[in-house]
Amino acid sequence: MERETEPRFETRSVSTGEDPAETSAGDVTVPIHLASTYTLPGIDSDLSLEDVDPDRGEYLYGRLSNPTRHAAEKRIASLERADHGFCFASGSAAIATTFLATVEPGDHVVAFDDLYAGTTRMLTDFFEKQLNVRVTSVDATDPGNVEAAIQPETKLVWMESPTNPSMRICDLSTIANVAHENDALLGVDNTFLSPYFQQPLSLGADVVAHSTTKYLNGHSDSIGGAVVTDHDTVAEEMKFLQQIALGNQMPPFDAYLLLRGTKTLSARMRDHEANALVIAEYLEDHDAVDTVHYPGLESHPQHDLSERQQSGYGGILSFDIQGDQSDAIEFLESLSEFSLAVSVGGVESLIQLPAAMTHEPLGAETRSALGITDTLIRMSVGIEHIDDLVADLDDGFASIAQ
């Protein structure tokens, strides 16, 4: 019987890309295929480098394609409702490959001035300095700033929403229109919300990147990245870069972990968000806290925009603790459920001090322009019991009150 509707997000998360009929034993999950090469039907078979099609069960050599990676690529494309998906060795590899696929020396990129710090460094120290790609960074919370920065050579607009750690939001569909009116592509790093809470292609983006290290894998035990697009020419170039020019694809074991992680994405994201909302409200009411940055709070300056373009607010928030940096450090070091660590998106709660950790390399001036004070604390709220998390924060505040 034909089904009337396509399977929903939760269903695709569990099964798309994995087909029990494809293995001899009928495995319900795709095995970890480790083979580096595959036997061919014969010399005359038309399995040339360009023709192998994993969708027809054809494999030639492990760098080009691998059944476990192929399943993960189909899964991620399906979750973002994209025609093409690619999995990479890291989020950074995914983003760098996207830039290489969309800009050439002499081209210009407009970027959010509040990107993941590694992406900003990649743009300035590699693409600008070494590849002669010019980059203008703007405060994209006002789409007018993006429009004003566009030049005749602008080929790519690169956004993140919400940003890290200030949780600023940019209007993706307005920015998509600005990019398209100027013959540029819009790319979005969707790591912070995952496709469960935001699907940038449906808002007009042309290409979407992820660090699968974060929510998509979700268990802090794999480094990986993914890119999806509906754009056939960008996809051709991504494939060439991933398989031939760079060979920076995701290894089979990480692809297996990613497939496994995505099965629980919906359930995890709902729990992350429910816990984050309780903690955001707890912090907002706390006397020792100045400002809380979480799009789910009505006090967030772009609460309405985030409600329109996202289907949830996610599990990451930041806040300014009162006192000086030594108070912030004492608070962090006194916690036991929240681990002091960089990264986000795992089932366990993590907490860090951007000015001394992730955003230390930016320098004090850039940090203050981005609103990253010395006492701004960022947390990635996990899926532990909320009462244990709040009790831990209570202990932290008690330790600095003494």
Q: Which of 17, 91, 143, 195 is the binder for ligand PLP (CB under 6 A)?
A: 91
If one asks whether residue 217 binds ligand PLP (CB under 6 A), the answer comes out as: no
If one asks whether residue 338 binds ligand PLP (CB under 6 A), the answer comes out as: no
Written as six digits, the tokens of 46 are 């038309």
Q: Which residue is nearest to ligand PLP (CB)?
A: 91
Residue span binding ligand PLP (CB under 6 A) among the ranges 25-33, 145-153, 177-185, 211-219: 211-219
Cα four-point dihedral sign 289, 292, 297, 301: positive
Give the nearer residue to ligand PLP in terms of CB position, either 118 or 323: 118
Contact 72, 258 (CB under 8 A): yes
If one asks whether residue 211 binds ligand PLP (CB under 6 A), the answer comes out as: yes
Q: Does 116 participate in catalysis according to the annotation?
A: yes
Provide, for the chain, the percentages of residues in helix, strand and coil under a 3-state DSSP scheme, each rounded to the nearest 5: 40, 15, 45
Q: Is 278 left (phi over 0), alpha (psi -120 to 50) or beta?
A: alpha
By rule CB under 6 A, what string of x and - marks binding of each residue 132-171 to ligand PLP? ----------------------------x---x-------
Q: Does 63 participate in catalysis according to the annotation?
A: yes
Q: How far is the CB of 196 from ligand PLP (least distance, A)?
A: 16
Q: Which of 33, 74, 214, 272 is the binder for ligand PLP (CB under 6 A)?
A: 214
Residue span binding ligand PLP (CB under 6 A) among the ranges 12-20, 189-197, 315-323, 376-384: 189-197
Q: How far is the CB of 105 from ligand PLP (least distance, A)?
A: 24
3-state secondary structure of 135: strand
Distances (CA, A) of 137 to 161, 315, 385: 15, 26, 40
The rounded radius of gyration (Å) of the Cα atoms in the chain is: 22
Contact 390, 274 (CB under 8 A): no
Written as six digits, the tokens of 4 are 């009337």
Contact 344, 162 (CB under 8 A): no
Q: Which of 137, 145, 154, 213 is the binder for ligand PLP (CB under 6 A)?
A: 213
Active site residues: 63, 116, 189, 214
Interface contacts to ligand PLP, rule CB under 6 A: 90-92, 116, 118-119, 160, 164, 189, 191-192, 211, 213-214, 223, 225
